[in-house]
Amino acid sequence: MNSDDTRPRDEEAEAELKGVPEELIGGEEDEAALDSIDQTLGKLNDELAEAKQEVLYARAETQNVRRRLEKDIADARSYAATGFARDILSVSDNLARALESISAEVREDERLKNFIAGIEATQREIDKVFGQHGISRIAAKGLPLDPHQHQAMMEQPSSEHEPGTVVQELQAGYMIKDRLLRPAMVVVAKKPD
C-alpha cells in the first residue's frame, strides 16, 4: 500500500482529473449523470436499509422459533408420562380402596398381616414413584372448591362448613408438575335448607 492510498477520495478524484481536458470534465451531461448516480446510490442505500431490517426480523423470528421448540421439547420430556400416569392412577385407587376396606380385626389376624403389609408396601412404592415423576396428590378436604383442581360431584347441606367448602373427597385428584392430571371428585358444602 503506498502513501497515495491514504488520501481522501476527493483528492484522488482531483489527481485523476489532472491533465484531462476541461471540456471532458464538466458539463450538463456530466451533472445529469452525477444526479442519476446519486439517485441510484440513494435507492441502493434504501434497499440496503430495508434488507438489514428484514435480516433483523428474520433473526428475531428464528430466535422465537428456537425458543418455542426448546419449550416444546422440555414439555414433551416433562409430560411424556401423562397418559401412562393416568392409567396407573386407577391401580393406585384400587390399592387405596383395598386398604380402606380392611377392618381392624382383619388387620390383627396373623395369617393376613403379611398380605396387608404387602399391599401397604405396594401403595407406598406407587406414591414414591409418583413423587419421582412430579405427580402429586391434590389437597381437597376442608379447602374451598377450586374449579381448576376439584370437580364437584354433589352438594351436601352443612351448618359446620362454609358454603363451597369441600367436605368429602370421593376420588383423589393429581397434578403432574404444574398441570392437572385428574381433578379431585368432591362433595361440597351448601347452606342447610
Q: How many helices and strands (H and E) does the chain possess?
A: 6, 6
Q: What is the mean pLDDT of residues 76-84?
A: 82
Residues 129 and 155 in one domain: no
User: What is residue 192's predicted lDDT score, i.e. its pLDDT?
Assistant: 85
What is the reported pLDDT for 51? 94
Residue 3 falls within a domain, yes or no? Answer: no
Q: Are residues 23 and 59 in the same domain?
A: yes
Query: How far is the C-alpha of 41 from the C-alpha of 47, rounded, in Å?
Result: 10
Q: Clarify whether residues 177 and 140 are in a common domain.
A: yes
Three-state secondary structure readout of 140-190: CCCCECCCCCEEEEEEEECCCCCCCEEEEEEECCEEECCEEEECEEEEEEE
Q: Which domain holds residue 192?
A: 135-193
* Residue at 1 is within a domain: no
Q: Between these two residues, 18 and 63, which has the higher pLDDT value?
A: 63
Q: 140 and 118 in one domain?
A: no
pLDDT for the residue 1: 45
Pick the more confident residue, 50 or 74.
Answer: 50
pTM above 0.75, yes or no: no
129 plus 172 within the same structural domain = no
Average pLDDT over residues 129-134: 91
In this structure, is residue 4 part of a structural domain?
no
**Domain check: are 66 and 87 in the same one?**
no
Note whether 70 and 88 are same-domain residues. no
Read off the pLDDT of residues 152-178 as tens digits, 9 standing for 90 and up.
999 999 888 899 999 999 999 999 988
At which of 133, 155, 175 does a domain end?
Answer: 133
Give yes or no: residues 144 and 168 share one domain. yes
Residue 66 and residue 102 in one domain? no
Q: Which of 126, 147, 137, 140 is nearest to 169 (CA)?
A: 140
**Is residue 137's pLDDT more than 60?**
yes
Give the total number of structural domains in the chain.
3
Q: What is the mean pLDDT of residues 24-48?
A: 80
Pick the last residue of a domain from 90, 105, 133: 133
pLDDT of residue 140 exceeding 50, the answer is: yes
Integer angstrom CA distances of residue 12 from 4, 24, 83, 111: 8, 18, 76, 109
pLDDT value at 18 more than 70: no
Identify the pLDDT of residue 10: 61
- pLDDT at residue 48 in the model: 94
